[in-house]
Structure 1
Amino acid sequence: MHTKPSRRLTGIDAARGVALFGMMSTHVLPLYTPGTTEATWTALLFSGRASGLFAVVAGIGLALLTGGHAQHRDRTLSADRRGIAVRALVIALIGLVLGGVETNIAIILFHYGVLFLVALPFTGLRVRALAAWAAGWLLLAPVAAYLLRPVVAATVDPPSLGANPIFEHFLEPGTLAADVFLTGYYPVLQWLGFLLVGMVIGRLDLSRLGTQLALLGAGAAAAIGAKLLSAQLLGPGGGLAALLQTPDGSRYPLEAMLDVGLAGVDQSGSWWWLAVSAPHSGTTLDLVHVAGSAAAVVGLCLLLTRRFPAALLPLSAPGAMTLTLYSLHVCVMSWADQLDPLPEPLQLFWLQVVGAVAIGILFQRVGSRGPLELIASGAATAARDGHTDVRR
């Protein structure tokens, strides 16, 4: 009776491990072939997809924390929400601390914590209502972002932080809010769609073979379909030609960036921006492609760990402590950037991967969680259970 949940969680941890190593690769390895505007395999595989997978798995985690397939209700759900809120605050605080580290990495943790808080009202929805919200959010949030960005640019000065959030940015609440929700690297307005998709997945019976196959098949179909539709709209539909006439479309090597990412590009001046599916463009087709890719990865990881929970141990062990390992990675990269000469990227990447796998397996063998996971889960448990004890 207890094997199914463990296998399910092992597969989810493995998917989280894929996200961790995918993000690490985009931080360490070049995204363009040196001397060209041609995307590298790292960019083609992981740019935008790894961090999106991280967010989708976060949504699965929220669903599991609130009962998973056997959804919690009433007082139990209220206690769950208190625990999640405290967990989110701890993660956001860690993100603010890491924001003060000198690094070129766009740190996701503060936005991650905000996403947890914004997703709390959705934790009580049944799976069908949740699926409707997820579909509507993926469809309409990018349109809202397209309409709101020019308004924010005209009213908030500056509209974006241009750096990772730190404690001092709370002195500029307008700019901080604009960056976190709309103009930053991980805009919460659109990225909430990833958490909602993950919550839908987490409400399914993930131990069933049919569910796992459906995630793999439907996810792959959605990911491929979004890319094909975007290619049709931009090519024969004339979208790319129109975008090349916009201010930033004419300023940047847009065709090359469509494979690597549009972070930092002002996507205004033409509704055709909503037809792209480039990483970090935040369009409907981008969100559907990334969410579909994430669902397929989750389905595949669940399938591969179905009979043998330890089959993906090099992924699932570090995937069980990504908060600690991600934070350690940011610190390592900050240290490496100060070395002269700079370390060779491929060597630096594999050293970190091997180190993360070794640390993950070590903590699993001694039956412990990562130190930051212990802090976050301990605070969440105290908030969840402490209030109940007082009521009694």
Structure 2
Amino acid sequence: MGVDLARGVAVLGMVTAHVGPDGDGLLPWGDLLQLADGRSAALFVVLAGLGLALLSGGDRLPDGVDLVRARVRVLVRAVLLVGLGQLLVLLGTPVVVILGTYGALFVLGAAALRLPPPALLAAAAGTALVGPLLREAFSPLSTGGASPATLWDVLVGPYYPAVTWAAYLLVGLALGRTDLRAPGARRRLAVAGLVLVVVGHGGSWVAERVLGLPTALVTTEPHSSTTAEVVGNTGAALLVLAGCLVVAARAPRLVAPVVATGALSLTAYSGHLVVIAALGPDAVWEPTTGTWLALSLGVVAACWAWWATLGRGPLETVLHRVSVRAADVRPRSEAPARPPTLGR
């Protein structure tokens, strides 16, 4: 439930990043809402990596037939996500759809399923350091458009470049290979997150203000995809996950609606883009508090009602059934249709 709660926070963060008010007089904290920009998408990808680890055995490294089946399931999901992403792009919203990069990162995740946590963290650190340099070097090969049109756009484009965002997935995969229920695990997660936030944002300030390095190379502005931003966003993701694990354990009924939103995260993400398409581009370019609240509460209410009555979401069901059948694996009968804390 803690992981699903974090997914729900990520989804609502992306809704906020897309239609959250800049400050229209009704709320005095419009600037605070801008914290969701970039960070919520990074949290989404970290949790994707964690989900891949749970899908393939959790803290037990898969081997033999289990590894082959897990990789098939992940690769099939990657194809489906890329296809869904292209359909969402056709809606013509001003929102940059993350699912193309998401699918590409799943391919990387399939290749990395056998790596132990230390190797995954080392690879994530290397990606955070080298990825921005590769993106800078090869970005001329990208079309530069907001919606990825080519493989180069997915790898080194201006939004969600896989060559940099792979760091988030690798960190999440490492988290999923550890026991988050172990004594002190959440405390260590929170401390690590705080350290990374300080290093990322503090390092950016020192590099720019003291060392005089070019802002474009060291900024932590949303979607800058610099090393400093990746480090800071990773720290923020760890802090949110640690907090969600604690809150979900202590107050499961209180956070049940957001947990349901996380359980239906793909459906919620796609659905909110459909609503934005129906509302028109002004919902993004001229956001209001009313639109943001209505869409956020609507997403939570719809997800909670679906999960409490029908269980797994429609898009989640498609991904699950198609990938399971492709890997010739029967769905696990012990998986509950819905958590006992919802609707009870």
Note whether the superposition's TM-score is higher than 0.5.
Answer: yes
CA RMSD in angstroms, aligned pairs only: 2.3
1:208 aligns to 2:199 (yes or no): no
Does the CA contact (< 8 Å) of 2:135 and 2:161 recur in 1? no
User: Does the CA contact (< 8 Å) of 2:124 and 2:170 recur in 1?
Assistant: yes
Q: Which has the larger radius of gyration?
A: 1
1:361: which partner in 2? 304
Cα offset for 1:146?
2.4
Once the 2 structures are TM-superposed, how far is the Cα of residue 338 of structure 1 from its aligned partner? 6.3
Matching residue within 361, 366, 372 for 2:315: 372
> Aligned in 2, Cα 1:139/1:384: closer, same or farther, shift over 3 Å?
same
Aligned to 1:162: 145
**Mapping for residues 1-392 of structure 1, pairs under 5 Å:** 10-31=1-22, 40-43=31-34, 45-149=35-139, 153=140, 156=141, 159-160=142-143, 162-165=145-148, 169=149, 176-239=150-213, 243=214, 273-337=216-280, 345-385=288-328
**Which position in structure 2 is the counterpart of 1:249?**
none
Asked if 2 retains the 8 angstrom alpha-carbon contact of 1:336 and 1:343, the reply is no
What is the SS of the residue equivalent to 2:179? coil
Cα pair 1:160 1:184 within 8 Å, conserved:
no
Cα pair 2:168 2:234 within 8 Å, conserved: yes
Deviation at 1:371, TM superposition (A): 0.6
Structure 1: gaps of 5 or more residues: 1-9, 170-175, 244-271, 388-392
Percent identical among aligned pairs is 33
Alignment size in residue pairs: 326
Residue pair 2:22, 2:287 contacting (<8 A) in 1 also:
no
After superposition, the C-alpha distances for 1:212-241 in whole angstroms (9 at most, x for unaligned) are: 1111111122112211111111112223xx
Unaligned runs of 5+ in 2: 331-344
Q: 1:307 to 1:300 in 2, by over 3 A?
A: same
Matched-pair contact (CA < 8 Å) for 1:24–1:349: yes
Q: Quick check: 2:155–2:161 contact (8 Å CA) kept in 1?
A: yes
Spell out, residue by residue over 1:334-373, the C-alpha distance to the aligned partner (whole angstroms, 9 max, x if none).
1111689x98621111111211111222122224111111
The one-letter amino acid paired with 2:290 is Q
Distance 1:351 1:121, change over 3 A: same
The 1:234–1:343 alpha-carbon spacing in structure 2 relative to 1, beyond 3 Å, is closer
- Verify the 8 A CA contact 1:107 1:164 in the aligned structure 2: yes
Q: Which residue identity is paired with 1:164? A: S
Q: Deviations over 1:159-213 (max 9, x none)?
A: 3252424xxx4xxxxxx02211002311000000100011111111011241111
Distance of aligned partners of 1:275 and 1:344 in 2 relative to their CA distance in 1, 3 Å threshold: closer
CA distance in 2, matches of 1:359, 1:161: 36
